[in-house]
Structure formats: C-alpha cells, structure tokens
Chain A
Amino acid sequence: MKRKLLLLFACFIAFVVKAQYPYTQHFDVRVGQQRPKCQAMVQDPLGLLWVASDMGLLRTDGDHTDLVWEANGASITALTVGGKYVYAATSTGVVLKCTGYGCDTLFADTLLSRLTARCLLAQPDGRLWIGTYGAGLLLHHDGAMMRVDLQEGLPDGHVNALCSTGNGKVVAATDQGLVVFDTKGRILRVVGEEQGLPDNLVTALAVGDKGLIWVGTDHAGACQFDPAASSRAITKVDGEWGLGPVTALAWGDDHLWCGTVRHGTVVRTFIDAVATYISNGRSGEVMAATKGLCRAMDGSVWTCDGTERLRRCDPDALLAPEHEGVDLRGITALCSGADGRLWFATPAGVFSHKAGFADQARLQLHPIATNVNNPVVCLRVDTTGALWAGTTGNGLFRLRMNGVVDHFTSTSGLVNDNILSIRMRGYEAWFATLEGVAYCSQVDTVVPRFQQAPQMGSGFVYDVMPTADGRVLAATDGTGLVELNSAMEVRKLSPAGTTYYSLCYAEPDEIWACGPGTGLCKLTASGMACQLSDHPLFNGIVFGLRPFRSRIFALAEAGPALFDPVTNSVIDLGRVYGLSDIQAQLNVITLDAQRAVWFACDRGLVRLDPREETIGGKVPCFITAVLLGARIVQPAPLIELDHDENFVTIRFAGIRYATPDAIRFEYRMNGFDNEPKVTRDREVSWSHLPPGTYRFEVRAFLAGGPKPVEWTSLELTIARPWWLRPWAILLWLTAVGTLAILLVRLRDSRIRLQERMEKEKVRFQMEVLRSQVNPHFLFNSFNTLIELIEENKEKAVQHVEHLSDFFREILQVRDKELIPLREELELVDTYFLLEQRRFGDRIDLHMEVSEVALDRLVPPLTVQLLVENALKHNRASDGEPLTVELLADEHRLTVSNPDRPREAMAASTGFGINSIHQRYQALTSDPVIISRENGRFSVSIPLIAS
C-alpha cells in the first residue's frame, strides 16, 4: 500500500512539473513517399544521424534522408558508431559495417539469427562487442570471435546494453546485474542487488562524467555506477521511480535523459529528482515508448519512438506556457535577482522561482496587490535585495527581504502613479513615468523620498538608464533620447519627433536604443547612429534590448534576434527556436546569473541560452557521396573516372539541425565553370563533363548569414578517351604521315609515268610524221603522180586530193590520245587507196568490222601503221596479190596478212610494233598479241571502251 502511494506520488510530481522544456522540434523522416518506423539513432563523427528503421538503415542531415542499407524484411536490432563506421546488427544474424557509401557484411553468425544481437559497442582497439538476447556476449576482433557466457561467469545470457568507460573497460547490463569487463573481455566484477544495485534488471546504460556510468533499470529508475570504486559503487538518485522501465539513457550538460515506455522522455538535472518531461504526444494521449535516445554533438538530444518522427530537444531553450497552473503567457514584467531568483508578474500576481526553473522548487506568490486594470509592468531588485514593482495607475510597491510590502503612490510623495521602468545605480533608483523621470537616492530607507528630474519635453518616458559615469539616459515618446548629466542639465541627443522604447548598456561602453521603426540605434559622439530599420526582423516593433555576450539581443515582433555589431550580422533566433511572430510587453527581458536571456511573450516564458555553434553562422559542410548515375563511387581524395563516366552527381550535407531548411550551399566546379552557384539542394549533377581535372568545392552557410572562408573540396579527374591520349595521338600522327608519304609517292610515280607517256607520244608522233613523210613514200607517191599526170589528168588530180586528205587526217588525229575506230578506218581507207594507186591489184584490203567495234577507241594511226607494215614487209605480185585482212569484234582488232617477207627489206627502224606495245601498256592491261602461224602474220590489238 505504501509502495503504491509512493508510486502515485512520483507520477503526480512528474505530471505536475510540466514546462515544455527543453524546446523540442520534430523532423519527419521520409524515404521517398514511405514513412519508416525509427527504432534507434546514432550520430557519426561528421554529425550525420543514422537511424535504424523497419525499412533499413537511414542517414539524415535533418533535411535529406538516404537509405544506406535496405532491410528487405529483416530488421536492425542494434546500432552503434565506432570511428568513422556505423555498425548495425540485423535480425538475420548479420553484422554490418557501414559508411555513407554503403554497408559491408562484417560477419554473419547463425547463433545471432536465433538469439539476436541486442546491443553493440565498437571499441577504439578494433574490438566489436555484441550483447545478445540469451547467448551472452560476443567479441569480434580481427575476424576471430570470442564468446563470454555463463561458463565464463556472466550472471545472465541476456545482455541489454553495453557501454565503454573512459579507461577502456566495458560495462555490460544484463538481466541479473552489471558486469565490468577489461579490454580483452575478461570479467572483472559483477554488480548486483547485493552490491547496492536497486534493480538487477538493467535495461540501459549511458556514459556520465568522470568515468561514471548511468544505469537505467526496469523498475527503479536510474542510478549512478562507478566502475572504478571497490565499494559503494552505486549512487542512487531516484528515491521512488514510478515511470516504468527505462528504455534508453543519455547524459550531457548536467542533464540526464531517460527514455520510458509510457511517459516519453524524462529530463532531469543531476541529483535533482524528476524535473520535466518531453511530451511525445498530445496531452491525454498515451505516449509512445521512447525507443532510441542519442545525444548529438551540438548538445541537443534526439529521441525516436517507433514512428517516422524524430524529436530534437535543445536544452539551450525553455518555453513554458504555464507552470503549476500559472498562465505564463500573460507575463507583464520580469526580472532576475542576484541570488538566481527569477521574478515575474502576471495579472494573477507577482511570483518568483528560486532557481529559474532549474529544479523542482515551487513557484512563490508574493503579497503584492495587483489587478487587471493596474498591472505590474516593471520589476527590479535593488542592492539590498528588495523587489521594486511598478504598476500602471497604482504606483510603486517595494517587497523587502523580510517580507514587508510598502506601497508608494502619488499621495505618498510619488510623482506619478504610472511607473514604466525602474533601474538601479548603487542605492539610487530611477523611474520612468508618464510624467517624466523620477528618482529616489536612498532605496534602503524605510520611507524613501522621491524626487522629480527636470522636465525633458515629452512627459512620457518608456525607459530610463543611469550610467556608471553619472549620467542618466531616458527614452521618451516624441523627444527621443534625452540625457541628464550629474548637474541635472537636460540635453537632447536625437532629433525631435523620435521615440525610443528601450535602452541597454553593452560592454565596453556602448549605449543602444530602439523604438518604433528606428531599427537599432547606437549612441555616438555625434548623436544616434541607427541601422537595420529596413531589416525584416527590425522593421516592426522592437520590444526591448539587452546585451547578450558580445552581441545585442533584441526582442522584436518578428521574433527574438541577435545582432553582432562586429560583423553587422543578424541571427534570427525565432527561426532557430520556433518563436517567430510574437507579441510582448515592452522591456520584459532579463538576464539571469548564467547570462542566459529570459523574456516573456504571448507564447509563454522563454529562456534562451544558445551556444556559439547555434548563433555562430558556421555550418559544417562535407561531401557525402559521389555518384555515377546510380552507382556510388568509393571514396578517395582524388576520384579518377573513365571518359564515359562523366555523368557525375555529388551529394553534400550541412549540419545545422536547429534550422536545416535555412542552410544554403555555395558550390563551384573549378575547371568546368569557376562561377560559384548557390543552392538549397543537397546534390548537384553534371551530365557531360569533358575530360580534365576538376576541383569541386562546396561550403554551407545560413540564408542571410556570412559565408565561411573555407571550402570543402574534392578532386576529380575524368580521363581522356584512349584515342585522345598522347601515345594514341602519336600513333595517329605516324599513321597519317605514313599515308601522306605513300600518297605522295604514288602521285609521283603516276606523274612520272605520265611524263614518260607524254614523251612516248611525242616521239611516236614524230616517228609517225617522219614515217608518213618519209621520202620513200613521197617518192613513190610522186612517181605514181607523174604516171597519172601523163595517163590521166583527172586521176592525177584525184590522187593529189587523196594525198592531201591523208595528210590532213594525220594532222587532225595525231595530237589526240585516242580516236574512234571509225575515224582510224577512214584514214586506213585513204592510205590504202593511195597505196593501191601504186600497187594496183596486187594488194587488197579485206575489212570485217562489227558495228559495235566502230565506236571503240584506238590510239591514232595504230591500224594505219599495221597496214603499212603489212604492205612494207611482204611481197605482193600479180600472181600472188597481198590481201590484208582487218577483223574487228567488240574487244579486239586483228590485222593479218600471209607471211611472205620480202627478201630485200627496207631497213626497219623497229619502231612500228614496239611503239604500239608501249602505247598500249600505258593504256590497258590487255596485251598486244603478235602471232606468226599457219603462214600468216597477225597483230591483234585490244579495243578500248569509250
């Protein structure tokens, strides 16, 4: 019964203390259109998140998700990161070693397919520890496997979690307590309930500070374990735990994160009991179990609950819409005391919280009478620790340390009952009122005396700020910034008509102000220097300013923002923490003892303590994969590709989980187009990169933020095709050269042949001419002529005409290369007529020429020469007339005659037949055939087609 009550009580606390802390974002993982069920997460050294899901192993940068390994029905039962590799164990007994370029099977074990791996741990020495569900512990090292089971002293074969201590030892969580191993897998000690462990059934482990280990149990919550201590190794932190089994643990920045089965993820600060929990679902709904917890390098903690939704919890931000039933969305004033106490006023009263919501202390309501018509609009703690609260219309309250409340109004000496701002300087208090500036020089007196500062034009003063050098600055409505020096002399520092709402002092000696539409103004020797008035974050109302580290924090309508006066850059914190477009009261901002900034707006009370990684514009950027088409290229500092592998896709990632959609990438491909381009996409493709050497460079930055100097780069070469490589070019040149030489030679020889033929022709013509006009022929002709003149004058004239015809025909044809046979035969006819005049019937010409042959070609005077030869070399008498036969078919022409050589031969020049041979050689391959058989001499020449 007692136990049940306690259990109930624990639940009560967990549900009562409900601020939405820390600030939680969610990311829905998608693979294509599918929604994976996420079971576990790890972060690799680059910062990418690896998620084990029912679809397989995923890798995400918060914006883009890759499916690195496809499950195909199997499931991932354990996941860990070691060095640059991610290890995953599957339900089929395979242990995978993965990089962004894919997964290799490290080993497969049939035992692991039955008794699945529950947890993995990759040690720096290369050992992979595998905790199984029933088969003890397996150690994989250099391909060898060692098994630690009950025989070796393991108290139980079910290993639920593994964790490495700082000095190389390993702690395993089993169903029967904790086991400490040395680096080689020998059991050093077993810690169970007898040794002080609150519950033997240990379900989760996490590395804590100083070599300590956080231990999550089934029913006793979490405790701390010192593996080095010989006794009293367990430190309990949970008196009574009512939130069921701890499913996962993570530790960092003094926060312990416990995943539970029914209560989401519980976050606790060290030593303190239950503080807050992250809501996984809508209120009233059953919350899904936290399956995986992962503390990221940026301090945020990720959880997954078996759905596609990943949650990122940022401990740097707190947003509390209500606390202990107090509505924090209507806070009208806020301040922090030197003791860390946070004060705030709502229409329900003035409250304080001892440690700024950092522990489980309750809110305290203070007896300051407020009402809706006269709300407290400013709060300030003075040097004595007393709280001053200014109202609109109801004067001023002072809450002394001893609890006594004083009320000052215009009837008790106060200048005006509307106090808009209070600031302290030593024992002085300065008040901004609707009737100028008032002050009180001794705040610690029981009845303080209020005085009115000189009028400064407008009566409406929104903020007042005494400076260390004795001046007082006032932000007024219509008169701008007004200075009161120590002698109470008024000096206007800005042109008339301007209005300022808020003032702040920033180190080393800067005064900043803001008002409606002024942007951010800095007080300089020559007046106010304003900037950013047209910046989207500052062109609405700015509710207040505070210095934040070396920057200026501004609470604007568009959301909280940080201005860096050194780089002149603006960081949109509203976007980082989901707090854009807010409404707030003027100057409801304060800084706490840790220099974190608090403000109140219509969303609730907000604490922001963004770390440098968040506000610095630096976005780590790296190349995650190089793809050729769909094929992933193995990583190398220099990627060498073939000439046809020029369809290149390069994927890159930038890590900024707070605002992954604000990341922009600038990339350039040096060697292709050196012009940098900006993109939101996480990959870029080239379809036809020409051969060459390239240097791909990329850098990430936040939209609107500064760009980093360094680029992340990748060398890439695309080889020339082999026919363009130097040796191939040399080969080409040689081949072309050889060919050219050959051609030239061929041409040369042809020219030479032609020249020879030309000479041949000329010589032939000359010989022909000479033979035709040889004196013998002429003498014979003239003798014949003389005879004819005497006998028959008419015949003589005819003979001379024939003679002249013959010579004219010779002159006509001798220059030609080839003439038709028809013309040649006409010439032969004429010639024969002339000869017949001499020989009479002793000679005869018998022609048999086919019609086709007449159009064939022959070299001029060839046939004539043959006929002439026949007449010249053979006897012809009346008894034995010489009959020359001339036969021509389509292809050949044959001149034949009976072989009757004359005894007295005229000296032959040997020119006739030889010259015919030579001429035909140049014209055709068909031979000139000379035969002497059956008593006949014949010469056959080929006819050439026209």
Chain B
Amino acid sequence: MSPKLRYLLPLLLFVAHEAAGQSRSGGLYELSKSQISFTSDAPMERIEATCTLAAGVIDRGMRTFAIRVPIRDFVGFNSRLQREHFNENYLESERFPHAVFEGRIIEAIDFTKPGSHTVRAKGRFEVHGISEERIIPCQITVTADGVRVKSSFDIVLADHGIRIPRIVQQKISAIARVELDMLFTSGEERSR
C-alpha cells in the first residue's frame, strides 16, 4: 500500500461505510497517474493550471470512489504572482488544502471486461471548504491494466464561496472548466 493510499483510506472507509449494506467491497483501484487541469476563460485573460499529484481510489465492487486533489500543487498559471493569489486569495489553500470528490458511480459497469462506458459519478464535491452535491458525467475505459477515467465539468466559483472582486471580473471567469484524466491501476498489479 502506497503512502498516498494510506492517507486516503479513512476517507474511503467513510465512503464504504456510507454505502453499508451494498455489495461487499471488491478490489481497490488506486490512482497511479493523473492530470487534473482547470481553465478560467475570462474576456481579458485565460488562466490554466494543472495538478498531477492527486490521490484516489475506486472500490470496484461497491462502485464507490474518493479523490483528493492538493490545491497547492497546481502549476501552470500565467505568472508566479497569479499562483500566489490563487492559493492565498481565492482558494485559501492554507485553510482548505484539498479539493475532494467522494461518492459513487451510478451506473453498474463490469470492471472485469475491457470496454468503454459513460457513467455518472454522484457525490460530495468539496472545494474551498464548501461541499456541493454533484453529478458528474465521466468516460470510463476499462483496460487490462486498470481503469482510465476522463471527464470535464464546470465549477461555479460562487457555489463554493469563492468571491471574485468586481475589479478582476474581466480577468477571472466565474466558471472554472475542469478537465481530468486519471489512470487507476489495481493494487495487486502494482504490488506484483
């Protein structure tokens, strides 16, 4: 078990507990490679940043999942000052170091057979300390190695209590577009 997974286990156990009564816990897929980026496309400026240090697991038996993204590890931006503002003024990553999405996959999919599925992930989506219930459509591709999840969705900053001062409204969009591409591999395979 990698340190990342250990870090995430309590969260996952909570998710598993929440879905108590459902089918027994199957194997765990662990997030091995991820690229999560957001884009703010404002009239005056386009800001992009990417994080590759997310941690996450999928329980394929119970179809639950938990993903945790460290806000401070977003890189990109148009300047260092911008990244500083992002961390200090808007996301307040000292107080709220992580973005979390935990929940379950609505559609039943067969993780044993390779194939591609469009599913919806429903759960608690937390950014900036404020949780919203979200239903996010994802593209899941099951391969022999593991599972690849791709998705893109919008975050309305106001929903998460992130206030954009009027003076920078032309530079920061009220909606952030998130693109994610995550590769989950089964724990056993990794240990092998």
Contact = CB atoms under 8 A, between A and B. Distances in A.
A624 B163 CA distance: 39
B165 to A, nearest CB: 16
Interface stretch (B17-25, B34-42, B45-53, B90-98): B17-25
A219 B156 CA distance: 19
A157 B175 contact: no
Name the residue in B22, B135, B158, B159 with the highest tally of chain A Cβ atoms < 10 Å from its Cβ.
Answer: B135
A200 B22 contact: no
Given A218-B135, A286-B175, A288-B158, A149 B21 contact: yes
A157 B106 contact: no
Contact of B174 (A134, A175, A286): A286
A245 B120 CA distance: 12
Given A201-B135, A288-B158, A150 B22 contact: yes
Given A201-B120, A218-B120, A286-B156, A150 B135 contact: no
Interface in A88-109: none
B122 interface: yes
Contacts of B107: 200
Nearest to A176: B106
A462 to B, nearest CB: 51
A150 B135 CA distance: 22
Contacts of A201: 106, 120, 122, 135
B135 A245 contact: yes
B21 A157 contact: yes
A200 B119 CA distance: 12
Contacts of B19: 134, 157
Consensus secondary structure, chain A interface: loop
A115 B14 CA distance: 11
B6 to A, nearest CB: 24
Contacts, number: 37
Contacts of A231: none
A176 B175 CA distance: 30
Interface in A433-472: none
A264 to B, nearest CB: 13
A220 to B, nearest CB: 12
A198 B62 CA distance: 24
B151 to A, nearest CB: 14
Nearest to A201: B106
Contacts of A200: 106-107
A175 B22 contact: no
Nearest to A307: B158
Contacts of B18: 114-115, 134
Contacts of B22: 150, 157
Interface in B122-179: 122, 135, 137, 156, 158-159, 174-175
Interface in A61-119: 114-115
A594 interface: no
A744 B19 CA distance: 93
A262 B132 CA distance: 14
Consensus secondary structure, chain B interface: mixed
A157 B106 CA distance: 12
Contact of B122 (A157, A175, A262, A289): A175
Interface in B105-119: 106-107
Interface residues of B, number: 16
Q: How large is the interface on A (under 10, 10 to 19, 20 to 34, 35 or more residues)?
A: 20 to 34
A680 B140 CA distance: 62
Contacts of A288: 156, 158-159
Contacts of B159: 288-289
A151 interface: yes
Interface in A666-686: none
Contacts of B21: 149-151, 157
B168 to A, nearest CB: 16
Contacts of A219: 120, 137
Nearest to A203: B135
Interface string A113-133: 011000000000000000000
Nearest to B124: A133
A685 B19 CA distance: 54
Contacts of B175: 286
Contacts of A286: 156, 158, 174-175
Contact of A175 (B20, B106, B137, B156): B106
A579 B34 CA distance: 56
A262 B120 CA distance: 18
A262 B18 CA distance: 29
B124 to A, nearest CB: 10
Nearest to B23: A150
A114 B124 CA distance: 13
Contacts of B158: 286, 288
A262 B158 CA distance: 12
Interface in B3-36: 18-22
A154 to B, nearest CB: 10
Nearest to B133: A133
Contacts of B156: 262, 286, 288
Interface in A172-189: 175-176
Interface in A301-358: none
A288 B159 CA distance: 8
Interface string A824-866: 0000000000000000000000000000000000000000000
Nearest to A151: B21
A150 B21 CA distance: 7
Nearest to B174: A286
Nearest to A287: B156
B116 to A, nearest CB: 15
Contacts of A158: 122
B128 to A, nearest CB: 15
A114 B20 CA distance: 12
A150 B18 CA distance: 13
Contacts of B106: 175-176, 200-201
A151 B21 CA distance: 8
A631 to B, nearest CB: 37
A630 to B, nearest CB: 33
Contacts of B137: 219
Nearest to B21: A150
B17 to A, nearest CB: 8
22 contacts: A115-B18, A134-B19, A149-B21, A150-B21, A150-B22, A157-B22, A158-B122, A175-B122, A176-B106, A200-B106, A200-B107, A201-B106, A201-B120, A201-B122, A201-B135, A219-B120, A245-B135, A285-B174, A286-B174, A286-B175, A288-B158, A289-B159
Interface of A: 114-115, 134, 149-151, 157-158, 175-176, 200-201, 218-219, 245, 262, 285-286, 288-289
Given A158-B122, A201-B120, 19 more contacts: A114-B18, A134-B19, A149-B21, A150-B21, A150-B22, A151-B21, A157-B22, A175-B106, A175-B122, A200-B107, A201-B122, A219-B120, A262-B156, A285-B174, A286-B156, A286-B175, A288-B156, A288-B158, A289-B159
